[in-house]
Amino acid sequence: MRNLHHPEREQLDLPAVLYALSDPTRLEIVRKLAGEGERACGTFGLPATKATLSHHFKVLREAGLIQTRVEGVHRYNSLRKPDLDARFPGLLKAILKATAPR
């Protein structure tokens, strides 16, 4: 099993986090993950190819926004809310509020 790289909490970098969030599809992934615990990669119902989604999950993971757990051939993602809230208080909340369906 491949080990995926996840930055430590203290390594999280604000510009990289904001860059990861600067894409509508990645914002939507974060919004969906915020509403629940863990979610398998194929279940987001987003209009993008598997390769494109893989890229988006990678950007989010490498910036420290999500945790990816590999189980057999499946990958399960969760939002690193405690880490994000500790490093950037109020940021995730403001972004989720701004992306809420109106």
x/- binding map, residues 7-46, to its own copies, per CB under 8 A? -------xxx-xx-xxxx--x-------------------
- 65's CB contacts (< 8 A; 6+ apart) are 17, 20, 21, 30, 79, 80, 84
Q: Minimum CB separation from its own copies for residue 41, in Å? A: 21
Alpha helices in 35-90 (DSSP H): 50-63, 81-87
- The helices-and-strands tally (H runs, E runs) of the chain is 5, 3
User: In the complex with its own copies, which residue's Cβ is closer, 37 or 89?
Assistant: 89
Tell me which residues touch its own copies (CB under 8 A).
Answer: 14-16, 18-19, 21-24, 27, 87-91, 93-95, 97-99
